[in-house]
Structure formats: structure tokens, C-alpha cells
């Protein structure tokens, strides 16, 4: 044992604590942290301060890499498209290619809490996303859609995706225990109410009472997508006869 008046031998000194290596802050790490905050807190509570706290840095450190919250949201939006590439246009399979595009888009929007709220109001016209837009237009062009229809077809699909998923998210928040579907008791009450309406005034609601609010989200999404695709396909054969009269 070391005597009180003797220095401690080096081999008996406690090792110096090593400071863990600091991981450099990058845009990628900031976006990762932002998605962590989004999943935990939701869109309304997502802030630069929350992201900085998640990373264990001062808020000012974020502004070296990201101009403001608006740019952070754009980076999060860009991230939604990573890892997905539209296939080369195939005129014989254009409907299936658009179905696949829409299905993957829905999965991406549902993969993070409130991701659809980031997507709403944003357009994929940044340099990073323009190649995706170009390939989608190439699918429409190969299908033979007229120019004026091609110009709005992508926006039509995007609006449908955002609107449908937003409704899904709102119902999931309201009824998490039933997977975002109205509880059975509520569905039965609604169906019973429609069935009890005066048939002379509400013949269609009465006729559809047994299936109202009872279909799965997957079924509703696929049917809505099919309606859009059939509408687009109707422009390929030629102009609408009603427009020529």
C-alpha cells in the first residue's frame, strides 16, 4: 500500500476519463433527428429547439447546416423520396406502374407520424426531386396522355395521396385502438341511422346503408386510385365527344 507521504505510482492512478469522440453534425443527422422528434411529438411540436435537444447541441449549431425550419421541412420532404425510383416507361403497363407509384407513396406518407402534414402544400420541384417528376411524366407520355392532361395528372395523384393519407392519420389519432377505423358500435349506429332515413327523400343513402363507413382503407384507396386511372385512360383513345359537340 502506498504510504501517505509517498507519491502514487503511475500504475495505481485511476485512468483519465476519455471524452467520447464528437460525431460531426451534418444535414443527414439533423434530418434523422427531426424525424425522431416528429415520430415522438408530432408535426405541431416539431421545432428547431426540439431537434437540437435531440442531438444534444445548441440551436445555433443547426443553423450552420440548415437555414431555418422551412428548409428543414423541405429536407424532410426530400427524404421521403429517397430509395424509390420509377421504372422505365412501359406503355403496356402504365396503369400498373402508376398504381405502384401511388401505393409506395402512401406507404412513405404513413411510415412516419404526420409525414403527410409535411407533404401538404409542398411541390417536388427542387433539384433533388425534379428527376422523379420527369420520370413520372415519362410514364404518362408513354401511355399516350395528351399534354394538357399530363400537365395536371401528377398533381392530381399527389392531391389524392395527401388527402387520403391525411384522413387516415386523423382517424388513427382519434381511434388508435381500432387501427384508425371507426369502432364497430359507431359504424353500426351510422348504418342504422342511414337505414332509418325516409327512403323517398334519401333513396341512395338508404340503399347504401349496409356498406357505408364499413370498407377498409386499403379497399377505399384502391378503388379511388382505379377511378383516377380510368379517368386518365379515357383521354388516351381520343377527345371527349361532349367537347366536340
Query: For the residues of 126-193, what is the DSSP string, one character each?
Result: STTTHHHHHHHHHHHHHHT--HHHHHHHHHHHHHHHHHHHHHHHHHHHH-GGGTTSPPHHHHHHHHHH
Final residue belonging to a domain, choices 50, 80, 110: 80
- 62-80 pLDDT, tens digit per residue, is 999 999 999 999 999 999 9
The share of the chain scoring above pLDDT 90, in percent, equals 68
C-alpha cell at 29: 443527422
* 32/104 same-domain check: no
CA distance 219 to 84: 24
Residue 11 lies in a domain: no
150 pLDDT above the threshold of 90? yes
Do 58 and 108 share a domain, yes or no?
no
Distance from chain centroid for Cα 157 = 13
Report pLDDT for 214: 77
Quote the pTM value. Answer: 0.81
With bands split at pLDDT 50, 70 and 90, how would you rate the model's confidence at 121? confident
pLDDT given for residue 242 in this prediction = 47
Do 76 and 169 lie in a common domain?
Answer: no
Q: Are 116 and 172 in contact (CB under 8 A)?
A: no
- pLDDT (tens digit per residue) in 33-62: 999 999 999 999 999 999 999 999 999 999
CA pair distance 45, 91, nearest whole angstrom: 45
Under DSSP, the state recorded for 19 is P
> Looking at the structure, do residues 180 and 74 belong to the same domain, yes or no?
no
Q: What percent of the chain has pLDDT over 70?
A: 86
Is residue 137 one of the residues assigned to a domain?
A: yes
Q: Please check whether residues 100 and 61 belong to one and the same domain.
A: no
CATH number, position 204: 1.10.357.10
Sequence-ordered list of residues with C-beta below 8 angstroms from that of 197, at least 6 positions apart, any chain? 205, 206
Q: Establish if 179 belongs to a structural domain.
A: yes
Number of domains in the chain: 2
* Owning domain of residue 211: 91-233
Amino acid at each position: 500500500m502506498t504510504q501517505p507521504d509517498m507519491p502514487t505510482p503511475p500504475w495505481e492512478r485511476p485512468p483519465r476519463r476519455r471524452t467520447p469522440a464528437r460525431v460531426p453534425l451534418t444535414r443527414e443527422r439533423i434530418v434523422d433527428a427531426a424525424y425522431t422528434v416528429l415520430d415522438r411529438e408530432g408535426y405541431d411540436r416539431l421545432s428547431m429547439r426540439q431537434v437540437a435537444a435531440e442531438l444534444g447541441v445548441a440551436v445555433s449549431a443547426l443553423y450552420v447546416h440548415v437555414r431555418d425550419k422551412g428548409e428543414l421541412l423541405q429536407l424532410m420532404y426530400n427524404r421521403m423520396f429517397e430509395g424509390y425510383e420509377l421504372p422505365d416507361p412501359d406503355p403496356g403497363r402504365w396503369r400498373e406502374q402508376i398504381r405502384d407509384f401511388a401505393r409506395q407513396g402512401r406507404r412513405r406518407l404513413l411510415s412516419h407520424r404526420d409525414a403527410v402534414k409535411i407533404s401538404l402544400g409542398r411541390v417536388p420541384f427542387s433539384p433533388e426531386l425534379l428527376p422523379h417528376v420527369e420520370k413520372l411524366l415519362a410514364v404518362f407520355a408513354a401511355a399516350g396522355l395528351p399534354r394538357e392532361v399530363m400537365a395536371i395528372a401528377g398533381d392530381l395523384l399527389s392531391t389524392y395521396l395527401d388527402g387520403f393519407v391525411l384522413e387516415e392519420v386523423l382517424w388513427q389519432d382519434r381511434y388508435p385502438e381500432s387501427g384508425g377505423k371507426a369502432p364497430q358500435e359507431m359504424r353500426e349506429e351510422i348504418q342504422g341511422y342511414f337505414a332509418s332515413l325516409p327512403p323517398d327523400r334519401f333513396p341512395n343513402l338508404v340503399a347504401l346503408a349496409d356498406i357505408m363507413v364499413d370498407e377498409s382503407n386499403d379497399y377505399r384507396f384502391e378503388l379511388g386510385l382505379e377511378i383516377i386511372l380510368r379517368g386518365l385512360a379515357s383521354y388516351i383513345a381520343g377527345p371527349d365527344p361532349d367537347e366536340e359537340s
